[in-house]
Amino acid sequence: MMNTDLSLTRQILEAQLKEAASSSGLAHSIRIHRVADPLDMTTESAERDVAVQLLDRESALVRRLRSALQRIHDGSYGICLHCEEEIAPKRLKAMPSAELCRDCQEKADHSESWTEAA
């Protein structure tokens, strides 16, 4: 990848990281409140579950963005973490934090769907 492309990609990743890090105001949503009504307890429990799932997604995104920035820094950006082949430039343009090439990502997605079904 050319240096100008990497510079632009770094800027995009840093902007996405800043946005993801600033949007994690969901932590207060997982506090447990004491309520007497069983329906309110159920509602709050469901809301906490959703907040935990969102926090998990956000933290995974932050990890992927930081990892991509680290790969730019160490010169391994654009190389699939699994097969070590080059990740297509179109894929990187669409998803700058991509860690896997399309084929490896499809295999990973397929194996995850099998794991989730079990």
User: Model pTM?
Assistant: 0.73
Calpha distance 48→109 (Å, rounded): 27
Structure tokens at 65: 């963005």
CATH H-level, domain 3-117: superfamily: DksA, coiled-coil domain (1.20.120.910)
Give me the DSSP letters along 21-67. Answer: HHT-GGGGGG-----S-HHHHHHHHHHHHHHHHHHHHHHHHHHHHHH
**pLDDT tens, residue order, the chain (118 aa):** 666 689 999 999 999 999 887 765 555 556 666 667 777 778 887 888 888 888 888 889 999 999 999 999 999 999 999 999 999 999 999 999 999 999 999 999 988 765 554 4
Q: How many CB atoms lie within 10 A of CB 54?
A: 15
Q: What per-residue confidence (pLDDT) applies to 46? A: 84
Q: How many CB atoms lie within 10 A of CB 9?
A: 20
Q: What per-residue confidence (pLDDT) applies to 13? A: 95
Rg (C-alpha) for the chain, rounded Å, is: 19
